Amino acid sequence: MAFPKQDITAETVARTLYENWICRFGAPSKITTDQGKQFESHLFKFLAALLGTETIRTSPYRPSSNGIIERIHRNLKSSIRCHTDQGWADALPTVLLGWRATYREDLEATPAQLTYGTNIRLPGEFFVENKSRIDQTTFVGKLQHIMHKLRPVPASSHNRENVFIHKNLPNSSHVFVRHDGVRRSLQLPYQGPYKVLSKSDKLFKLLINGKTSFISVDRLKPAFLASEDEPPPAVGKKHEPVTTTTRFGRKVRFRIDPKKSTLTLEGESL
């Protein structure tokens, strides 16, 4: 289901969910969302708590964590772009009609067949007279047999990318987070370090700027912090200033600070 809206504020999203899904199909047991502000708002969380619905958040900058929906969004945009002669909001119902009547190989049925028990009639079928007679008893029995055979088929994963995970990452108390957004000039690719609150095989729960956030492990690298128990590094011997005399008879001393790697000139200015 898709609904054209002028904005995606928390109030608009909550009202659309209630009026178009909950009032039609009832309250879902779980809702999977990204970490958008409209889904993190108090209004949306209050609505989910009121309905008794568990909210599941995907990790940011990780489309594969909700790959089926991301693929649907990609195909939906491609389908809408085919209707360039009209606005996308006007083309959306026709695009959704085609989707509901399209046969899915992974489901071995159309979405309409799984929802309503039969395929929907397309507009072209309205003008074709169907003179065939169907035995209602045979049809109902065949339909029941098909519905009993329907089983959810897990979608296959086509991702073969090998992700590098640092061997010390599971034991790290602090980590750096890779910034996958658009970076400014000279901006560092990693941010942090941030404290690790909890860990799993795929996600880390981090404390970022006073808020908790779930980050995928492929965006993390361990932070090696200096221990407070370690002795301070030994300071090299003190370098005596070097004094030299210019050809005009002026004396200049060169003092080198090994800590700061700076050069200080003392004496008369040249």
- Rg of the chain's alpha carbons, rounded to an integer? 32
Nearest by Cα to 221 from 248, 188, 250, 252: 188
Say what the pLDDT of residue 181 is.
77
The correct CATH number of 10-149 out of 3.30.420.10, 3.40.50.720, 3.40.50.300, 3.40.630.10 is 3.30.420.10
Question: What does the angle CA 98 – CA 75 – CA 84 come to, to the nearest 5 degrees?
Answer: 75
| Residues of each domain in the chain carrying CATH 3.30.420.10 | 10-149
**CA-based nearest residue to 242, from 253, 226, 231:** 253
| Dist. CA 191–CA 215, nearest whole Å | 13
According to CATH, where is 2.30.30.10 located in the chain? 169-223
Q: What CA–CA distances, in Å, run from 104 to 69, 99, 157, 171, 230? A: 15, 9, 16, 43, 62
Output the pTM of the full model.
0.49
Residue-level pLDDT, tens digit, the chain, 270 residues: 788 888 889 899 999 999 888 998 898 899 988 888 888 889 999 999 988 999 888 887 777 777 778 888 888 888 888 876 667 788 888 888 888 888 887 777 888 888 888 888 877 665 556 556 666 667 777 777 766 766 666 666 656 666 778 888 888 889 998 887 777 777 788 888 899 998 888 888 899 888 888 888 888 889 887 765 555 454 444 556 667 777 777 777 666 555 554 545 555 444
Domain 169-223, CATH 3.40.50.1950 — does that match? Answer: no
